[in-house]
Amino acid sequence: AQKITQTQPGMFVQEKEAVTLDCTYDTSDPSYGLFWYKQPSSGEMIFLIYQGSYDQQNATEGRYSLNFQKARKSANLVISASQLGDSAMYFCAMREGRVERDDKIIFGKGTRLHILP
């Protein structure tokens, strides 16, 4: 079973509109972290936002916010006032906190976001 599911392979959004990128996750570990990364065509992975499983409030970073619904195991990324430079691949990812030695990030398959002028 997939640990991270991103159901939207691609999205087209008009510039200046808000956009929500969906992500659901699967874990039995009570301690975990959720990430969103942006990957432009240049290839580097750019960290956007992080949410810890015990965080009471939704994470926000500038125009990015993470809509964390723990009971639904959902961690959607919301980008407000989209810009042309937001066009990129977006990955949802999770790190589980099982044991000290198990320190890897598991990525979803990504959503390609196209911002239209």
Partner 1 sequence: DTGVSQDPRHKITKRGQNVTFRCDPISEHNRLYWYRQTLGQGPEFLTYFQNEAQLEKSRLLSDRFSAERPKGSFSTLEIQRTEQGDSAMYLCASSPDRWTETQYFGPGTRLLVL
Contact set with partner 1 (CB under 8 A): 4, 33, 35, 37, 42-47, 50, 52, 91, 93, 100-110
Nearest approach, Cβ of residue 33 and partner 1 (Å): 6
Paired tokens of 51:
């949410």
CA distance 45 to 28: 27
- For 64, residues 6+ apart whose C-beta sits below 8 A from its C-beta are 36, 48, 49, 77, 78, 79
Nearest approach, Cβ of residue 16 and partner 1 (Å): 28
CA distance 38 to 112: 10
Q: Which is nearer to partner 1, 93 or 115 (CB)?
A: 93
Q: Which is nearer to partner 1, 50 or 64 (CB)?
A: 50
Nearest approach, Cβ of residue 17 and partner 1 (Å): 25
